[in-house]
Chains A and B, each alone.
Chain A
Amino acid sequence: MSLRAWRISAAGAAAVFVALLACGKQNPSTGSGTATKLRGVPTVQINLKFANPSYLVGENIGMTVTVTNRTASQVEIPDPFYRDNWQPTYTLTGPSYPQGHTFSFRSVALHDTRPEPDGVDAVLVQLSPGQSLEQEIPLQSWAAPTEVGEYQIVAQLKWKDVAAQSAPVHFRVEKPQVDSASVGVDVEAPGTPGEWVEWFHKEPAGQRLYTALFQRPHSDVHGYEAFGVQAIFTAGPQATDLLSPWTNYNRMTELAKWRAWREGSALLGLITSSTTPQRLELGAVPRSIVRPALMHRTGELDIFFVSADKPELGLARFPAPQWEGPQTPARVLWKLPIPSIPVAARCAMAPESAASERHVLVVAQERGSVAVHFMNTDDGISLGHWQTARIPNSVAMPGAEPGLRVAEDGVSYAAILLETDAAAHRFAIADLVFGRDGKLTGAVTVKPLGQLEAAPKAAVAAYVVTGSSEMRRDWVVLLENGKVVHSGSEGETRPLNATPVLPLQLISLSAGTYLLTLDDNGKPGFTLLD
């Protein structure tokens, strides 16, 4: 696009009334209009277009704006895509704006809602005959439609003797129906922009897979909020157990970015920009998937699972993607008996300094005690041996996922929430340390945490994931009454102003601890536990 821009005073731009020719309703997501000179000769056409007929609340809504010079001579208009300009304007009407909301780039960015601001120079562009300017504007940032329903948007351009109006374009906004959600973390990865949250939105045709990056707060400007919310695939109706993998590097710096899920007895993995997921048939619906999926810098994706019919741990591997030619199929590397029937499990990848070893922890309930089985599976191929520790006089907390993190030296730290008196809801947290050889180091410490005011519904422990030598460990317990107790609540039970995503997913940043939740609109996001 070749633009020649200069500034003239807005005061010199007299508004001229023109008769507008509105095109009839076209495709629900596109529309165009033409403008006339006073005598009705077309000059400039403005067109709006959406990629999709409907969007979720909070989803990126890219609206393509095209301005075309339909005259035989050059025209000069304000650059539609320059922030300081107050033309063109857009009017959005719908449930969020029943009376219509008119805005311009300037009013959105600078909060200057004056129709013709004094003392401001417009930045102009010249369009040759037939020349177009086109760009996609992020409508959700300019005028967020937060209520579900049908919307209509119209663009208008008025500048000197030029006037144009687009045909109205319609789109629909729907409420997210999150069926399964997962947070992927680049653990201790310098420069990582944030966490990768993915979720299924339930639709009649299947589970629509959405992805978003939640950029970590780094200035006052942004909170811990979604960036680039987009739908990337529609999975089958039975799709569940969505997994956004955890890594030990900044995945933005690499090509392969997996996500995976389960459909019945099959695991499916999808690489960004691919339209076809890889499918791995397990033969039977697994008893459980061990969270999280682990993604290696080479592009391999590992998923531990527990077999359905027996206490057996398996490892499924999706090989690094091939950018040309056929893909190497995913396969189950091995299955290994677990000493007792698991009630919870967690896996983790060691830092690259510790060879990215895959460690797995299984929690099992035995008579009167909780058994903790741990294994360093090395690169996932060289199997280790289960090492077992027992925590007497305790019961595994229902729905509690253990915390597991591998330090720089390959030592694993594990934390398990327990009930020491299930009837009275007295609870505790056990801390265990396993050496790189997989053996328990030191004694298991059990720290009483008090008494819950209601029965626990779910719980999770997690270690800090930001670059830090400290092995800070946080935890949260969700009670049946909807309240939470967490490591920062100083023993108090506190309400949660959002709906927690189950299973609970806790992200411990050095500056705060966040829980994956859904807001009132059903949008995934993070709630700071304070």
Chain B
Amino acid sequence: MKRTGRVARTAHDLTHLNRLHVPDFWVLKLALAIGGKSSKSHLQPDAPAGDGSGADTFHFAPEKETVELNYKIDDTRGVIRRARLDLFTRFDESHFWSFDLTKLGLGALSDGDHTLKWDGRIVKSPDAAPAAGDGGAGATPDLTSFDPDLKLQAEFPDGYVTVGHSPYKLRLTVSDDENEGGKVATAWTYFHVLLKKIELEIGPEKSLPKPPKGRSDKDLHVYKNSDTNAFNGTLPGDGDTKRVYLNSDIFKNSNAQLHNRADFTAYQGTWGDGPHIPIFAKAWVRDSGDQAVEAPKALGKVKFLWDAEDVPESGGSVYAGHHAKAKAFLDSSVNYDKDVTHPKGDNCHKDRGGKRGDDTKFFFPKQAGYGYGFAGDFDSDPQQDALKDREFPFKVDPCGTRKWSSFSYAWTKGTLASKTGVLFQPSRMAGDAYRVSVYLAFDKKMAEGKSSLVLDTAEDDPLQNANEAIKAKTGTFEVWRRLHFVRYMKKKAAVTPNFPIAKFQNYYKQAYVRMYDAAGAATSMTKADYDAKVTAAINARPNWYEKHMLSTTVASQYDAGNYGLHFNTWATFKTNVMAAQGWTVAQLNAFLGTVLNTDALYNAWCSNVASDTLTGICEQYMAADSGINLFQFNEHYNLATAVGGETLNGFAPGAAVGPHKADPTNSQCLFVLCAGPTNYNGSHNKAEQTVAHEIGHCLFMAHAPVILDKNGNVVTDIANKHDRTVHDKNFNNCLMSYNYDAERKWCGFCILRLRGWDRGKLQNDASKNKKP
């Protein structure tokens, strides 16, 4: 630096002195202030001491509040030639923003106190200072007189400082050299842009994804469901549990599906990785008076981290209702790598078809977003004051390290200003339970020279320890399957007993399956209609001899009794066949062969004809809607009480039924309840158990083995092929068994299957389902 000094020479006879000083200057104060609150000035150590007032915790709401930027310059000799404001963030030695105060005119550099108005905006330094004569120091333009520059700093996309880089350090640097080659004096102060709170809400219907073309609008059904405890437009509050109902009218199409993984694959095919629930968060900025204000531009590109926490099985709403053995089975089976997965917990593990521990299945899937506020490109979308229909508005990206969590970005303008959100996608597994949390992910840490977000970690502690103001949490989302009981029809009102629907519903409730009663009270078939349907069914029998089995001589099949169908006796059948075919006894015997040659075999054979014919008749009575249809008789045929005749309390057809039976997955089913009036006397069996059992078949459940010897072996088989590998080996009264020596309830294995778990990945010995 070169500076020229001119000194008057002293007369030779005088003694006064002329002293030449290097002119000095200081910044004596730099602080932000509003409403009696001020940030603290930090001065150079060699500078004259300040008054120490103010606080390093000063904060304000950018855009919403205009603070005073106060600074004081000691430059009595007016040597300062340059002054600039620099804004820094943590861990970054280079400034984020710099403003050349010189361009506000010399008045901005003059000795004394200065005050500029500033609302946190980031403005570009003017190209030139105001012309002389435009005003003195008092006329120095405020920073608020400049428009926020949206391009100046990509991190401040709306031209305002944001919560994303708080806390900030604002530094004033002055110099007596325009290139800052001489003395440089500085002062600095700290300020914060903080959130006051985050509020969660259900996102609007429009934010749901579009349904696949030609497919059911499943997500909308979940969203609008108003059944018991459904979230139905409100999020579960802290301590509260809301159900996520997944429509699950998915039924078997063949008996072979009782013995394979069709239940799992059909449900998987319907619900995939789960439903979508829009959850929005509104971020309120904390103003200088500690009040919550909307300051959307202060959100900028800050990230919000969304986390799904696994709620333990024992906290489930049905936990207390399980049979003790089912509970034991579940306790063991859900205890599978509980502490090593992300997130930790006992929701269905990926090894069993669930999402827990699967880094490829997101609870908050990636979203492109649109409109304002998504990172990177603010102008790509026209102004969006109205939401697009069935398009998710916020940009969402998976986290880098916490892979089961995601980041979202807020809108800073428009109808969703101050809001962000995600599409929460819980797994489809009934009984899985979650709490969703959102965190302001602004805080950074340095590691190995790299900055990263504190919350983007596999550890849970940083999230749990986060300041309350920057997080919000829902109550519990509990996933339920929901089936519809759409028709309850009797042959006649005199058919008994009625079954208590609440008890039946309670069986399924234990598997987080809601049996929604859309049928109401039982209705009855009418005589004329029933008789016409039976006549048509007899005529349609594929085999001529079956027409001789079914009686066409009773005046009315409807009036014949409360049973489904009236059959001829074996003797009448033989007589009619011989007459119709013109056969000799030898020919008749050849025809009867080894399957119709006794009364008992004939009575047994007719059972199949009866159930098959009755199925076809009942099919015509099915409701149009998806769901379960129940048709009730007292016995399915008149020969049920005869030797060889088959007593059925109920049956579910093996083949697909209903208008949609050709579909790969059938959304409709029917079953017949046909117990005699006293069939439930003398055992623990009850009609509601039969109902649950038959629907279990429709839901792909095979029979459970019954009667075990001391070694646990089946010693007496049951009518149908049981599937011992998919029932708890230690429970002998599963609803899918025929064991009536105690009330039948679901075994733990069935419960897990009903919940959607993969039967192929479970053992019937619960101890083998536990890991470690």
Contact = CB atoms under 8 A, between A and B. Distances in A.
Contacts of B721: 223-225
B681 A112 contact: yes
Interface string A187-228: 000110100000000000000000111010111111111011
Contacts of B595: 193, 213, 227-228, 252
Contacts of A135: 599-600, 643
Contacts of B258: 220
B543 A252 contact: yes
A62 B683 contact: no
A222 B594 contact: no
Contacts of A211: 594
A113 interface: yes
A306 to B, nearest CB: 31
A220 B697 contact: yes
B594 A221 contact: no
A181 B257 CA distance: 27
Nearest to A85: B641
Interface in A251-281: 252-253, 255-257, 271-274
A442 interface: no
Contacts of A113: 682-683
Contacts of B679: 110
Given A512-B254, A528-B256, A111 B740 contact: yes
Contacts of A225: 720-721
Interface in B714-772: 715-717, 719-721, 738, 740
A482 interface: no
A256 B720 contact: no
A96 B720 CA distance: 20
Nearest to A230: B594
B584 A323 contact: yes
Contact of B254 (A136, A232, A252, A510): A510
Contacts of B697: 220
Nearest to A218: B654
A81 B612 contact: no
A97 to B, nearest CB: 10
A222 B643 contact: no
Nearest to B598: A136
B694 interface: yes
A509 B256 contact: yes
A530 B259 CA distance: 7
Contacts of A255: 583, 587, 590-591
B255 A81 contact: no
B255 A137 contact: no
Interface stretch (B6-14, B301-309, B519-527, B645-653): B645-653
Q: Is the interface of A mostly helix, strand, loop or mixed?
A: loop
A114 interface: yes
Nearest to A253: B543
A83 B589 contact: no
B41 to A, nearest CB: 73
A202 to B, nearest CB: 20
B193 interface: no
A228 B601 contact: yes
Nearest to B614: A219
B608 A144 contact: no
B643 A136 contact: yes
B593 interface: yes
Interface string A118-155: 11100000000000000111100100101000000000
B418 interface: no
Contacts of B641: 82-84
Nearest to B260: A530
B738 A111 contact: yes
Given A83-B641, A136-B599, A530-B259, A120 B651 contact: no
B594 A217 contact: no
A512 B256 contact: yes
B678 interface: yes
Given A82-B641, A218-B611, A221-B648, A112 B720 contact: no
A144 B594 contact: no
A141 B719 CA distance: 9
B543 A273 contact: no
A109 interface: yes
Nearest to B596: A228
Contacts of A120: 678, 681-682
Contacts of B678: 84, 110, 119-120
Interface string A490-530: 00000000000000000001111000000000000000101
Contact of A144 (B545, B600, B676, B717): B717
Most buried by B among A220, A224, A250: A220
A277 to B, nearest CB: 14
Most buried by B among A112, A223, A324, A511: A223
Contacts of B583: 255
A346 to B, nearest CB: 25
A118 to B, nearest CB: 8
Contacts of B542: 190-191, 250
Nearest to B583: A255
Contacts of A146: 715-717
A117 interface: yes
Interface in A268-300: 271-274
A105 interface: yes
Interface string B695-729: 00100000100000000000111011100000000
A183 to B, nearest CB: 16
A228 B676 CA distance: 26
B608 A273 contact: no
A217 B600 CA distance: 20
Nearest to B655: A218
B259 A528 contact: yes
Contacts of B632: none
Interface in B354-378: none
Contacts of B598: 62, 136
Contacts of A250: 542-543
A117 B682 contact: yes
B612 A220 contact: no
Contacts of B255: 217-220, 223, 511-512
Nearest to A519: B717
A323 B587 contact: yes
B543 A222 contact: no
B499 interface: no
A241 B256 CA distance: 30
Given A221-B651, A511-B256, A137 B591 contact: no
A137 B598 CA distance: 10
Interface string B584-626: 1011011101110111110011011001100100000000000
Contact of B719 (A117, A118, A221, A256): A221
Contacts of A83: 640-642, 645, 647
A219 B653 contact: yes
Contact of A110 (B643, B654, B682): B682
Given A110-B682, A220-B697, A272 B611 contact: no
Contacts of A253: 543-545
A255 B646 CA distance: 27
B676 A84 contact: yes
Contact of B681 (A117, A190, A217): A117
A227 B655 contact: no
Nearest to B581: A255
A190 B546 CA distance: 13
A105 B260 contact: no
B368 to A, nearest CB: 36
A105 B645 CA distance: 11
23 contacts: A83-B645, A111-B683, A113-B682, A118-B681, A135-B643, A136-B598, A144-B717, A191-B541, A191-B546, A213-B595, A218-B653, A218-B654, A219-B255, A221-B611, A221-B720, A225-B720, A227-B604, A271-B590, A323-B587, A512-B259, A528-B256, A528-B260, A530-B261
Given A60-B601, A146-B716, A220-B703, 7 more contacts: A82-B642, A110-B676, A136-B600, A217-B256, A220-B258, A252-B543, A255-B587
In the A-B complex, list the 3 residue pairs whose CB atoms are closest, starting with the nearest: A512-B256, A191-B542, A511-B254
